Structure 1
Amino acid sequence: MESHLGDRIEGRCSVLESRVHEAEQKAKESFVSLEMARFEAEAERNSLEKQIDDIKLEVHYINRFFE
């Protein structure tokens, strides 16, 4: 009986280890996805800031033209 109980506990531990490993993998994948999204957002922000600077410069030229 003791051997059967030990096998049963060992089996449960294996199942739990597998579930923990799967959860770790999902967390890593989520972190990588989050980092990629952050880099994409940062690149988009830089692009938008450049466009805003270009618009400000054009407005400055228009204002000087009408002075």
Structure 2
Amino acid sequence: MAQEEKDNPFQTLLHWFIDEQVEEEENTDRIRQQLEMVGDDHTGLFMLDKEMGQRQAAQNNAGNEGGQT
């Protein structure tokens, strides 16, 4: 519909949104695979938790550098 209406800014937004969704689905699948590999191993779960925490901290820092609060 955005193409039919020649709404270029909305088309750009839709492409960005789809790209983000694909990236997040890939991330989720990777995390699921890691959890399956770790199983009930407490050390592995701790290491995975630490990795996920660092990922979140990096995303937060990147957002703050971009002028977001």
Is the helix fraction higher in 1 or 2? 1
Normalised by the size of structure 2, how large is the TM-score? 0.47
Higher RCO, Cα 8 Å, sep 6+: 2
Query: Highest Rg: 1 or 2?
Result: 1
Normalised by the size of structure 1, how large is the TM-score? 0.49
